[in-house]
Amino acid sequence: MCQGKLHNLLLDLPKVEHHMHLEGSLEPDLLFELAARNKIDLPKDDEAFASSESLLARYGRFTSLDDFLHYYFIGMTTLVTGEDFESLAYAYFKKAHSQNVVHAEVFFDPQAHTTRGVKSETILEGFQKAQRRAKDEFGLTSELIVCLLRHISPADCHQAYLEALPDLKNGKIRGLGLSSTEKGNPPHLYKESYEDAKKHGLRLTAHAGEEADVSYMKSAVDDLGCTRIDHGIKLRDDPELLKRFAREKILISMCPMSNVELRVIKSIPELPVREYLNAKVPFSINSDDPAYFGGYIQENYCGVQEAFNLTVEEWAEIAMNAITLSWCSEERKDEMLNGLSDALAKYA
């Protein structure tokens, strides 16, 4: 991994995570523990589920987004009670805090749980307990973003959106996202939910430009009104749209290790980090599904440094954009910006 002065800076930087699926932080050990406790049958015809070790080994051989999603959706069937959701989120916050994450805006997939009979209140209460503990014990603030699963029909997704709406309006859930199988499920299909959310002034993001092309990014902005795009690594292919992202400060939440593990790119140097920095397109660096892709946020920061050898000033800009384009209060942003100045002072 990266070395020297810059490595210490990357450890010290106060970090903000914008792209992390809580269900994607389910480590194999906890997965097996929950399966035993909740008497959940894992597939017997897949030898990957023989042990934590074999499961981890299989995670190292994903061939595509859908290949990963197959394991991701099986894994989360072990989450049943409020305590399970709390343990999951608390374990993530604790790990994130150990890597100097000071604020996290995290996704979850209610449709994957409610369709198995888990109540939305159970999920939300578990996550909220973990959020309160993370704030009290670590000073780590967080926001929840509900994801619509785009492999499910837009009509069913709209139903899920309507179920989440009261908690979007009362601020328990901060924003709306769109995830799962991207190709063949373009953003505009989910317009009804996003249009309604926009009317209510809610925060909007969508996964776009991960496996599919840049037209999905354009549709997420034009048709859905997103002010943030998750992954979003295809902007090079539309120079006008790239300028617009810079002008309107539309944040891209990049996930380097995820892109390599899901074979979207061969290696991190292929990412458009230099182009986005030069064009002033704001982006943050994130872990996506850290239990599945072999690293949390720190490992992703180090991977980017190894690949691009960025300067202190460039890291300062990345860290500052991550803070200022977060969906928290201005007061919280000011606190985080002060923390950033203190961390940078040592490296001036």
Residues in the annotated binding site for substrate: 289
Round to whole Å and give the CA distance between 12 and 69.
33
Q: Which of 210, 211, 313, 330 is catalytic?
A: 210
Q: Which one of ligand HPA, Zn ion, none interacts with residue 84, CB within 5 to 8 A by kind? A: none
210 catalytic residue (yes or no): yes
CB 214 to ligand HPA: min, Å: 16
Which residue, 100 or 142, is less far from ligand HPA as judged by CB?
Answer: 142
Give yes or no for a contact between 120 and 158, defined as CB atoms under 8 angstroms apart. no
Q: Interface with ligand HPA includes 180 (CB under 6 A)?
A: yes
**For residue 250, how many C-alpha atoms fall within 13 Å in the half-sphere facing its CB?**
25
Angle, CA of 167, 173 and 176, to the nearest 5°: 105
Is residue 261 at the binding interface for ligand HPA, with CB under 6 A as the rule? no
Binding-site residues sit at: 19, 21, 207, 288-289
The region of 77-85, 190-198, 217-225, 280-288 touching Zn ion under the rule CB under 5 A is 280-288
Residue nearest to Zn ion (CB): 288
**For residue 233, which of 251, 214, 219 has the smallest C-alpha distance?**
214
Q: Please enumerate in sequence order all residues whose Cβ is within 8 A of that of 185, keeping only pairs 6 or more positions apart, or say none.
A: 150, 151
Of 246, 224, 233, 294, nearest to 68 by C-alpha is: 294
Q: Which residues pair with 207 in a beta bridge?
A: 230
Give the shortest CB-334-to-Zn ion separation in angstroms. Answer: 29
> Cα dist. 196→18, 94, 150 in Å?
23, 35, 17
Q: Are 259 and 271 in contact (CB under 8 A)?
A: yes
Q: What residues numbered 5-34 form the site for ligand HPA, per CB under 6 A?
A: 21, 24
Residue ranges of the binding site for Zn(2+): 19, 21, 207, 288
Q: Which of 111, 288, 343, 344 binds Zn ion (CB under 5 A)?
A: 288
Alpha-carbon span 70 to 31, nearest angstrom? 15
Do 89 and 132 form a contact (C-beta atoms < 8 A)? no
Size of the site for Zn ion (CB under 5 A): 1
In the chain, how long is the greatest CA-to-CA distance? 57
Write down the least CB distance from residue 254 to ligand HPA, Å: 11
Long-range contact set of residues 181-184: C-beta below 8 Å, sequence gap at least 24? 181/65, 181/66, 181/69, 181/150, 181/151, 182/65, 182/150, 182/207, 182/208, 182/210, 182/211, 182/212, 182/216, 183/211, 183/212
User: What one-letter code names the amino acid at 326?
Assistant: S
- What are the structure tokens assigned to 209, written together? 């430009």
Q: Give the binding-site size for ligand HPA (rule: CB under 6 A).
A: 11
The 266-295 site mask, x for binding ligand HPA (CB under 6 A), equals ----------------------xx------
The C-alpha angle with vertex 200 and arms to 130 and 184, in degrees rounded to 5, equals 80
CB closer to ligand HPA out of 25 and 87? 25
Using CB under 6 A, which of 100, 185, 215, 258 touches ligand HPA?
Answer: 258
Task: Single out the residue of 79, 210, 303, 319 in contact with ligand HPA (rule: CB under 6 A).
Answer: 210
Chain residue whose CB lies nearest ligand HPA: 179
Other CB atoms closer than 10 Å to residue 139's CB: what's the count?
12
Q: Which is nearer to ligand HPA, 107 or 315 (CB)?
A: 107
Considering the complex, state which of residue 78 and residue 100 has its C-beta at the smaller distance from ligand HPA. 78
Based on the shown chain and the rule CB under 6 A, indicate whether residue 178 belongs to the binding site for ligand HPA: no
**One residue of 18, 174, 203, 207 binding ligand HPA per CB under 6 A:** 207
40-99 binders of ligand HPA (CB under 6 A)? 65, 72
Contact set with ligand HPA (CB under 6 A) = 21, 24, 65, 72, 179-180, 207, 210, 258, 288-289
> What are the residues binding Zn ion (CB under 5 A)?
288
